[in-house]
Amino acid sequence: MEDIEKARLWEHRQSVNSDFNSISNYFLLAQSFLLIVATSNQIEVGYHRLIVGILALALSGIWLYVQSKQKFLLDGLKKRCAAELPDYAQTRADREHPVWRFSNTAIMARVLPMLFSLAWIVIVSTTGL
């Protein structure tokens, strides 16, 4: 692979990584605001809270899907970069440690949306309807 192709591959990896982080930030912010609305005293317990909870639960499912797809794309690009860029491969190898088995991207892509989904299930089930 020529240098210009390596540079293009690296730029693509950086772009997908940036997209992953931007999407995480957007959904985390949206979910946090909805959680504040649903648990504040400004909204009455009942249909309003139920509607907010159901919409937020659907949003959590969308978040899980979108982030899982972005993680899949990013993982593929990381593998290609490691194969083509020896310095990058060495840096990734140096970072491996048994304590840190779980990747940050896996947590951001799957665990956070599932935790919010669980919170929304609890909120929806306790609306008293």
Residue entry with tokens 């931007």: 22
pTM attached to this predicted model:
0.86
Is 44 within a domain?
Answer: no
pLDDT at res. 82: 94
Tokens for 97, please give them.
């440690």
Is 71 within a domain?
Answer: yes
Is 56 within a domain?
Answer: no
Range of the domain at 18: 3-39+61-125
Is 54 within a domain?
Answer: no
* pLDDT per residue as tens digits for the range 65-111: 999 999 999 999 999 999 999 999 998 888 888 777 778 899 999 99
Is 84 within a domain?
Answer: yes
Please state the domain count of the chain. Answer: 1
Is 21 within a domain?
Answer: yes
Is 55 within a domain?
Answer: no
